[in-house]
C-alpha cells in the first residue's frame, strides 16, 4: 500500500518569516504557523505551533506579504528533520514543507 503525505492547515503566522539563501542560490522561507485548538478539547494551551518551510519561488512570492498575525492556509507534506547541535545534542522537528500558501481574507463581523 502506498501512503499519502498531505496536510492542509489554516492558522495565523506566529512570527514574521525568515529567508535563508542556500549554497546553490535558491531561497528558503521559514515561519511558525499558530494553530488554535477547539475549545471543547482538554489542553493546557489552546494553541500549537508548527514550522512551515517554503522553497524557491513559493516562499519568495509570499515573503513580503506574510507578517505576524496574517491568516494563512498552508498545504504541503509533513517532514521530520533530525540534526545534532554543535554541543552534541540531538534535535528533531516536524515541519510542513509547503506546496501552496494562500492568505485568508477575514470577514468583518460588524
CB atoms within 10 A of CB 101: 22
Which of 13-17, 19-23, 40-44 has the weakest average pLDDT? 40-44
92 falls within a domain: yes
Q: What CATH number corresponds to the domain at position 27?
A: 2.40.50.140
110 falls within a domain: no
Find the helix or strand (DSSP H, E) in which 65 lies: none
2 falls within a domain: no
12 falls within a domain: yes
pLDDT digits (tens, 9 = 90+) for 63-110: 888 899 899 999 999 999 999 999 999 999 999 999 999 998 876 655
20 falls within a domain: yes
Residues 73 and 9 sit within 8 Å (Cβ to Cβ): yes
Q: What is the mean pLDDT of the chain?
A: 87
| Total tally of structural domains belonging to the chain | 1
109 falls within a domain: no
pLDDT of residue 23: 93
69 falls within a domain: yes
Amino acid at each position: 500500500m502506498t501512503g499519502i503525505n498531505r496536510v492542509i492547515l489554516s492558522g495565523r503566522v506566529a512570527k514574521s518569516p525568515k529567508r535563508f539563501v542556500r549554497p546553490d542560490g535558491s531561497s528558503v522561507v521559514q515561519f511558525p504557523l499558530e494553530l488554535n485548538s477547539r475549545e471543547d478539547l482538554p489542553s493546557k494551551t489552546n494553541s500549537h505551533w508548527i514550522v512551515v518551510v517554503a522553497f524557491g519561488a513559493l516562499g519568495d512570492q509570499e515573503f513580503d506579504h506574510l507578517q505576524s498575525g496574517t491568516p494563512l492556509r498552508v498545504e504541503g507534506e509533513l517532514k521530520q528533520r533530525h540534526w545534532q547541535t554543535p554541543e552534541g545534542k540531538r534535535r528533531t522537528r516536524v515541519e510542513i514543507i509547503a506546496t501552496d500558501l494562500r492568505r485568508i481574507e477575514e470577514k468583518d463581523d460588524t
